[in-house]
Amino acid sequence: MFDVPGPGPSHGPASWHARLPHTTAAVPIARALIRNALADLDTPADSDTAELLTAELVANAVEHTDGGDPIDLVVEMGPGGCQVEVHDRRPPSPGELVCPGPGEEPDPWQEHGRGLLLIRALSSACGHRPTARGKAVWFTLPAVPRQRRPREA
């Protein structure tokens, strides 16, 4: 199910919601949705970073929650950037979204354990909050002005 309204009449923030399947197929779907949504904005957030961080949140939700319920992707975009939230049905917090303490760095030889580190390092803000059905994990990215294109002769 996709609910993707455009900007309101006052050119305020655009927000939309997508219900994703609880499978690994949700990750490329979420990346494509974010890429397409940011491409339509005048001053989008960095699309590559938004795709990467969204993929991390969705992959975590798929891996760490029960498979019966869908995963909700909620995006709010405005002139100042975008905020992406991934909602799942598991109430416990997703781990620390703050800088790790001494000795808590991810093992460089392990395949897992860097997602939240990437989110902390590349977003302008991030966190999690409880919801009525579980939790939402979110990040924000600032808008990046489009580069001016040279005039064609």
Q: Tell me, what's the pLDDT at 116?
A: 81
Q: Tell me, what's the pLDDT at 4?
A: 40
Task: Give the CATH fold of the 14-95+112-142 domain.
Answer: Heat Shock Protein 90 (3.30.565)
Q: Tell me, what's the pLDDT at 102?
A: 54
DSSP string, the chain: -EE-----TT---EEEEEEE-SSTTHHHHHHHHHHHHHHTSSS-B-HHHHHHHHHHHHHHHHHHS-TTS-EEEEEEEETTEEEEEEEES--S--S--S---TT-SPPTTSSSS-HHHHHHHHSSEEEEEEETTEEEEEEEEEB-PPPPPPPP-
Q: Tell me, what's the pLDDT at 103?
A: 60
Q: Tell me, what's the pLDDT at 150?
A: 52
Separation CA 74–CA 85 (nearest Å): 5
Select the more confidently predicted residue: 90 or 132. Answer: 132
* pTM (2 d.p.): 0.78
Q: Which of the four pLDDT bands, split at 50, 70 and 90, describes residue 152?
A: low
What rounded mean pLDDT belongs to the chain?
79
68-104: pLDDT as tens digits:
889 999 999 888 889 999 999 887 766 655 455 556 6
Lowest pLDDT segment from 39-48, 79-88, 113-122: 39-48
List the domain boundaries for the chain.
14-95+112-142
Q: Which of the four pLDDT bands, split at 50, 70 and 90, describes residue 21?
A: very high
